[in-house]
Amino acid sequence: MSSMQMSSVFGCCVCYTTATVVSAIHKYLDRVTLHGPVSLDKLKQIEDKINSDFQLPHFSALDQGTFLEFILSQPDIRKVTHHCGNRISHRAGIF
């Protein structure tokens, strides 16, 4: 999605690029990490905020896969989520 894309919901158009979506995700991750570790619940809240910001019925309307697929495809976001994933796994007793 390197070119400009448009989302139209209820007759309203919102323009976005991959960079604007990544920037918005970083903004919310920064806010969340100020208050402690990122949980799966917090990632879901971030996804919901992105959907709202870009007026999307669901994240996959961006044609970039699911929210999880998108954040894993972005190296700078992946670093943050990888670190968070280790914390979640350890707390859940998975590893």
Q: What is the pLDDT of residues 31-45, one digit of tens each?
A: 988 887 788 899 999
- Is 80 exceeded by the pLDDT of residue 49? yes
The residue that leads in pLDDT, 64 or 87, is 64
Average pLDDT for 60-71: 92
**Mean pLDDT, all residues of the chain:** 77
Q: What is the distance between the alpha carbons of residues 87 and 56, in angstroms, rounded to a whole number?
A: 30
Domain boundaries, the chain: 5-92
Which CA distances in Å does 58 have to 44, 76, 87, 91? Answer: 12, 23, 27, 29
The residue that leads in pLDDT, 66 or 87, is 66
